[in-house]
């Protein structure tokens, strides 16, 4: 059997100085969108969190861990929370999962931004259709505000 090795876009992150607590995830373009979706799902759970018993809080914590793992496509909960309930209060007055993501998200955002392609690499260009090789001429509107995008769209269709 032949073994094929290539960069699959995975990055590893170690929690503190504990070499056993490592998160390995793929930095795909949709990751930040999925994370924002999780933020909305967790916000929806806030009422359930406020009105739950300690026994039910464990079940809810496991549900949230499963949501996090699905979002990242990997078990991030085991290394991140080290078996603790995600709703454990920490010194900052926040919950453990909030503290973790406040530290983790900026690192992810920086890594994802650093990976944004600047155009097709020369060794890949020969495999692309001719029309796809000129994508760099399409303006990047990702930094525009929703209002600016709407104004641009109105200008283009008028």
**By 3-state DSSP, what share of the chain in percent is helix, strand and coil, each rounded to 5?**
55, 10, 35
- Measured from the Cβ of residue 31, the count of other Cβ atoms closer than 10 Å reads 19
pLDDT of 121 strictly over 90: no
pLDDT of 104 strictly over 60: yes
Confidence (pLDDT) at 133: 47
Domain boundaries, given as residue ranges, for the chain:
10-115, 122-157
Query: DSSP strand E in 21-111: where?
Result: 22-26
pLDDT of 134 strictly over 60: no
Dihedral sign of CA atoms 68, 23, 86, 110 in order: negative
Percent of the chain surpassing pLDDT 90:
47
How far from the centroid of its chain's Cα atoms is residue 65's Cα?
Answer: 14
> Average of pLDDT values for 12-36?
92
pLDDT of 132 strictly over 90: no
Diameter of the chain measured on Cα atoms: 61
Range from 68-82, 106-120, 132-146 carrying the lowest mean pLDDT: 132-146
Query: Which one has a higher pLDDT value, 86 or 29?
Result: 86
- Cα–Cα distances in Å, from 90 out to 94, 95, 100? 6, 6, 10
Are the beta carbons of 84 and 92 closer than 8 angstroms? Answer: no
pLDDT of 157 strictly over 80: no
Q: Residue 29 and residue 64: Cα distance in Å, rounded?
A: 23
> Average of pLDDT values for 80-94?
94
> Average of pLDDT values for 106-110?
92
Query: Which one has a higher pLDDT value, 121 or 56?
Result: 56
pLDDT of 87 strictly over 70: yes
């Amino acid at each position: 059997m032949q073994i094929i090795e290539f960069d699959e876009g995975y990055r590893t992150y170690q929690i503190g100085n504990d070499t056993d607590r490592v998160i390995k995830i793929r930095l795909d373009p949709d990751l930040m969108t999925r994370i924002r979706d999780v933020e909305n799902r967790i916000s929806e759970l806030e009422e359930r969190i406020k009105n739950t018993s300690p026994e039910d809080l464990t079940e809810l914590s496991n549900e949230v861990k499963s949501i996090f793992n699905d979002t990242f496509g990997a078990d991030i909960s085991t290394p991140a929370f080290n078996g603790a309930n995600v709703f454990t209060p920490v010194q900052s007055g926040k919950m453990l999962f909030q503290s973790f993501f406040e530290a983790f998200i900026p690192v992810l955002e920086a890594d994802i931004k650093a990976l944004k392609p600047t155009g097709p690499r020369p060794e890949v260009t020969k495999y692309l259709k001719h029309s796809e090789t000129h994508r760099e001429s399409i303006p990047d509107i990702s930094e525009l505000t929703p209002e600016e995008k709407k104004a641009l769209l109105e200008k283009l269709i008028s």
